[in-house]
Amino acid sequence: MKNYLITGGAGFIGTNFIRHALTARPDWNIVNLDALTYAGNPANLENLDPGIAGRYHFVRGDICDATLLDSLFSKYIFNGIIHFAAESHVDRSIQGPEDFAQTNVMGTFRLLEACRKFRKDKKMSDEFRFLHISTDEVYGSLGPDGYFAEQTPYDPSSPYSASKASSDHFVKAYFRTYGLPTLVTNCSNNYGPYQFPEKLIPLTILNIIKEKPLPVYGDGKNIRDWLYVLDHCDALITVLEKGTPGETYNIGGGAERENIEIVHLLCDLVDDRLGRSGDKSGRWLIQFVTDRPGHDRRYAIDATKIKTDLGWTSARTLEDALESTVDWYLNNMEWVDSVQSGEYRKWIKQNYQHRGVNS
């Protein structure tokens, strides 16, 4: 059996990754280290099939806790770390950047230090890899033309992207300085099941269902390159197993859309499912609101390297995957209700109180 440490596995992408990997890789034993912040929900992984549940182990804890990392590295010989844990929401980073510096920068540094220490003591598998999951936001904003390639200079705009950029630099430095076999992936915006409803797609789906306003920042023409989370999970396994240590791989969905187009698509899909039309259509709920400060205009990934070097491309079309995402939320309203209680409500109140309606 191979042991993998997954950090942040109770969050959106981590949950999807663990579910996918336990099925796709029957020889993996997974240890999920997660602090369970507002974004972490251990219930996401409670109902695993009995056939795979025995290979999943949850540890509640902070990646900044060096003593806890020592104890985990002493207990297991890891074949790899797949590092998702982070503060991940741009709007939260604008309201309170400190947690982003702490978890994203210091937490990544602590993990790297634990690897350096235990590798020196030869308490690691020979095929060990440190896979660091990062974002295309480190590259800053694009104009109407061009794409982010692996060699595009970093130019982060938000405290979130600045903290991820910093962590990427630490990871690369540990490869160059200490020879730690690291891999960095920079991916575009993900969507799919289990995403916390503060991000554009789940927030919009749930607000349409509940007939609440759909806040669209600025003119709604900012562009993101949407990637279905299960395509992303496939790409991560590919990079882990075939990637060259020290390299970076950009991962994109090849699906650039303006935010307003995404909102319109979601309105049409939910309307169709709920039999709404005319003045009951979700489109009437759209409200253009004050723009996010430092709002990047356009992200778009050039995924040539992962395609030519490792043979990965995204499999699902945006339209098909958005449809199954809408169905997932409609079929999992119990999950939604449990997530929307407590902290999430407070956040919505705090975040939208100061944001005026433009039109």
- Residue 108 CB contacts under 8 Å (≥ 6 apart), including other chains: 63, 83, 132, 167, 170, 171
Distances (CA, A) of 84 to 104, 111, 269: 10, 12, 30
Interaction partner, residue 156 (ligand TYD, ligand NAD, none; CB < 5-8 Å by kind): none
189 is an interface residue for ligand TYD by CB under 6 A: yes
Could you give the CA distance from residue 326 to residue 332 in angstroms, rounded to a whole number?
A: 10
Q: Where are the beta strands (DSSP E) in 35-128?
A: 56-60, 80-83
Run of H or E including 237: helix 229-242
108 is an interface residue for ligand NAD by CB under 6 A: no
Are the C-beta atoms of 250 and 305 separated by less than 8 Å? yes
Tell which one of 86, 165, 255, 321 touches ligand NAD (CB under 6 A).
Answer: 86
224 is an interface residue for ligand TYD by CB under 6 A: yes
Site map 6..45 versus ligand TYD, x via CB under 6 A: ----------------------------------------
- Among 183, 185, 186, 173, residue whose Cα is nearest residue 245: 183
* Shortest Cβ 104–ligand TYD spacing (Å): 13
- Among 222, 245, 252, 234, residue whose Cα is nearest residue 148: 252
131 is an interface residue for ligand NAD by CB under 6 A: no
Tokens for 310, please give them. Answer: 């490792």
Instruction: Give me the residue label for tokens 């400190």.
Output: 98
Mark whether 136 is an active-site residue. yes
* Shortest Cβ 211–ligand NAD spacing (Å): 26
Tell which one of 21, 31, 64, 206 touches ligand NAD (CB under 6 A).
Answer: 64
Instruction: Give me the residue label for tokens 């979601």.
Output: 266
* Shortest Cβ 212–ligand TYD spacing (Å): 11
- Judged by CB, which is closer to ligand TYD: 3, or 259? 259
Mark whether 137 is an active-site residue. yes
From the number of C-beta atoms within 10 Å of its C-beta (0-12, 13-18, 19+), residue 280 rates as exposed
90 is an interface residue for ligand TYD by CB under 6 A: yes
199 is an interface residue for ligand TYD by CB under 6 A: yes
Catalytic residue of the set 160, 194, 249, 299: 160
Could you give the CA distance from residue 183 to residue 247 in angstroms, rounded to a whole number?
A: 6
Could you give the CA distance from residue 227 to residue 9 in angstroms, rounded to a whole number?
A: 19
103 is an interface residue for ligand NAD by CB under 6 A: yes
Are the C-beta atoms of 134 and 184 separated by less than 8 Å? yes
Mark whether 98 is an active-site residue. no
181 is an interface residue for ligand NAD by CB under 6 A: no
204 is an interface residue for ligand NAD by CB under 6 A: no
112 is an interface residue for ligand NAD by CB under 6 A: no
Catalytic residue of the set 87, 136, 198, 231: 136
222 is an interface residue for ligand TYD by CB under 6 A: yes
192 is an interface residue for ligand NAD by CB under 6 A: no
**In terms of DSSP bridges, do strands 2-7 and 28-34 run parallel, antiparallel, or are they unpaired?**
parallel
- Judged by CB, which is closer to ligand NAD: 17, or 179? 17
- Among 290, 277, 282, residue whose Cα is nearest residue 263: 282
φ and ψ at residue 300, rounded to 5 degrees = -160, 130
Catalytic residue of the set 34, 137, 198, 296: 137
Site map 134..163 versus ligand NAD, x via CB under 6 A: -x----------------------------
215 is an interface residue for ligand NAD by CB under 6 A: no
- Residue 14 CB contacts under 8 Å (≥ 6 apart), including other chains: 6, 7, 8, 32, 34, 84, 85
What does the binding site for ligand NAD look like in residue numbers (CB under 6 A)? 7-8, 10-14, 34-37, 39-40, 62-64, 84-88, 103, 107, 133, 135, 164, 187, 189-190, 196
* Residues belonging to the active site: 136-137, 160
What does the binding site for ligand TYD look like in residue numbers (CB under 6 A)? 90, 189, 199-200, 203, 215-217, 222, 224, 259, 292
